Amino acid sequence: METAEALETKEEQRTTGVVYMTDNDNMFIAPEGLSEEEVQRRSLETDRDMLKKKLEEIEAELDKTAPISNVQGKPSLVMGLTPLPEFSMITRNGIEVFKDFMVQSFNPQEDSYTLSNGNTTLTVTGETFKQINKPERYEKAFNENTPSYEKLIDSQYDAYYKQRENTADNFIHNLSVYCRKEANTPLDALMISREIISRMDKEEKERTRQLLQQRAHKDETINQVLINTYYEAVKGVPIDKDKLLQKDYEAVIAKPFSDTISNPGAFVDRDSKLKIGDTLKNLAINVPKPFGIGKDKIYEDLTVISASKDGNNILLMDKNRSFYELPRDSVLAGYEKQQDRQHKAEIKHQRHNSIDIER
């Protein structure tokens, strides 16, 4: 049984406020009524939390120079020292390739990394950085001949360049992928469309036809929907049009024909007024329908780039710098008919607006 003196001591401990100083900036204030043992326990918890916070601050500072990762098959990456594998991303300027980049800093609050190669600096999310820094990329040997789209981070490659199952629901995606990789003109897109559709079973073909009809505006044919898809696909991944034009232009006009004409202002034929650089308005091109038999007409304004009589070809370009290679004799025949119709229309207009005088 406790003595009266002991009971008095415990009561004093429960009713006395105790102030426990942890450092110069923090203090633990014990509420009144706590025993000395409880005060000590709570003060130790306060010290433990403060120590944990201090350790986290120290670790954050060390992380700036410590390896970011040490995954098997991939070297430990040290900020400012270890070069990242070459990669590309779709930006406002098109598909840009990033080479010799290193991690400069990491922002844990925003989960973002700042990368730089000394000339260019960019910030990417943690998820994007994982794709850039994945082990498989360190094993690939990219060079100047590797297409830039093959260097894309996985998420962008899958969205813009990876084929999906050949179904009606995936048709627009798959056509867009082929347009970005292989097509250089709407005519190419129409040929690719027929090829994709030909590999579908009967049910998927019918579903594809219905879906394309639903996308068509008033008076639009399915071929026009496909052409619009081509332009949207190329627009969705803005490429360097000037480089593309220069590359393809040189490849096309460098035909092995000694009579190839490509000088602006030169006549395509001595019996025609059509010249290199002229624009043919409302040129109608007959193209196969994507389903069944028959043909549609597509109308384009095309500029003459080059022509060859021996090769019987004429190269034209639309306002989007897409190339069309058509039979030279057909274009010349169509041009002469158009000129004849325009000449007759002008004469009719002049006579309609003439002044009648009676004598």
Asked whether residue 92 is assigned to any structural domain, the reply reads: yes
Task: Look up the domain containing 121 and give its range.
Answer: 87-158
Q: How far is CA 210 from CA 31, 191, 278, 302, in A?
A: 76, 19, 40, 31
Tell me, yes or no, whether 346 and 303 share the same domain: yes
Residues shown for the chain: 359
pLDDT of residue 124: 93
Tell me, yes or no, whether 257 and 345 share the same domain: yes
Domain boundary among 236, 268, 283: 236
- Ordered per-residue pLDDT tens for the chain, 359 residues: 445 454 444 444 443 433 333 444 455 555 666 677 776 776 667 667 776 776 666 555 545 444 555 444 444 566 778 889 999 998 877 788 999 999 998 898 999 999 999 999 999 999 999 999 988 888 887 877 888 888 999 999 998 899 999 999 999 999 999 988 888 788 889 999 999 999 999 999 999 999 999 999 988 889 999 999 998 888 766 554 444 445 555 555 544 445 677 788 888 888 888 888 888 888 888 888 888 778 888 888 888 888 888 888 888 888 777 778 888 888 888 888 888 887 787 777 777 776 666 66
Q: CB count, 10 Å around CB of 165?
A: 8
Tell me, yes or no, whether 33 and 129 share the same domain: no
Asked whether residue 78 is assigned to any structural domain, the reply reads: no
Tell me, yes or no, whether 253 and 344 share the same domain: yes
Asked whether residue 72 is assigned to any structural domain, the reply reads: no
Tell me, yes or no, whether 151 and 207 share the same domain: no
Structurally, the chain folds into a number of domains equal to 4
Tell me, yes or no, whether 232 and 247 share the same domain: no
Tell me, yes or no, whether 141 and 170 share the same domain: no
Tell me, yes or no, whether 205 and 248 share the same domain: no
Asked whether residue 201 is assigned to any structural domain, the reply reads: yes
Spatial neighbors of 297 by CB under 8 A, at least 6 apart, are 284, 285, 286, 287
Asked whether residue 328 is assigned to any structural domain, the reply reads: yes
Spatial neighbors of 166 by CB under 8 A, at least 6 apart, are 174, 196, 199, 200, 204
pLDDT of residue 219: 84
211 neighbors 193 (Cβ within 8 angstroms): no
Question: Whole-model pTM above 0.75?
Answer: no
Asked whether residue 186 is assigned to any structural domain, the reply reads: yes
Tell me, yes or no, whether 38 and 94 share the same domain: no
Nearest residue to 242 via CA among 40, 121, 48, 93 = 93
